[in-house]
Amino acid sequence: MEQLNRIELRGNVGNVRISAVGSSQVARFSLATNFMYKTKDGEAVVETTWHNIVAWAGKGMPDFSAIVKGAPLYVAGRLRTSRFTGNDGTEKTVYEVIASKVEVPDDQA
């Protein structure tokens, strides 16, 4: 059976940090997605999840100046898990989406 590691997200940008790495650029930003449901009592609940995104400039990427706080985005990529020991000595796990495609809706560009 073929293995698959793919994630697609549509949400709004939170914090953005764009850095130069050699002759390329990397954008690291958070993306909020909402899941809405109703409780047994009929009360509407919105559950927001924040995702860490890493996007390298190149094919499938927009001009990184379009990635601004609050902007709606579509992101496709793969999930990567990293583990490290924090300054306080505790083991930490970080989940990141390594983007292969980032799209800004036409009315936002």
Handedness of CA 60, 96, 104, 74 (dihedral sign): positive
**pLDDT for position 1:** 86
Q: Is the pLDDT of residue 108 over 60?
A: no
pLDDT above 90: percentage of residues in the chain? 89
* Rounded Cα distance, 103 and 61, in Å: 7
Taking CA atoms, 106 is separated from 1, 46, 60, 63, 74, in Å, by: 37, 26, 15, 13, 11
Place of tokens 């292969």: 100
Per-residue pLDDT reduced to its tens digit, 14-50: 999 999 999 999 999 999 999 999 999 999 999 999 9
Radius of gyration of the chain (CA): 16
CB 69 within 8 A of CB 27: no
Q: Is the pLDDT of residue 89 over 90?
A: yes
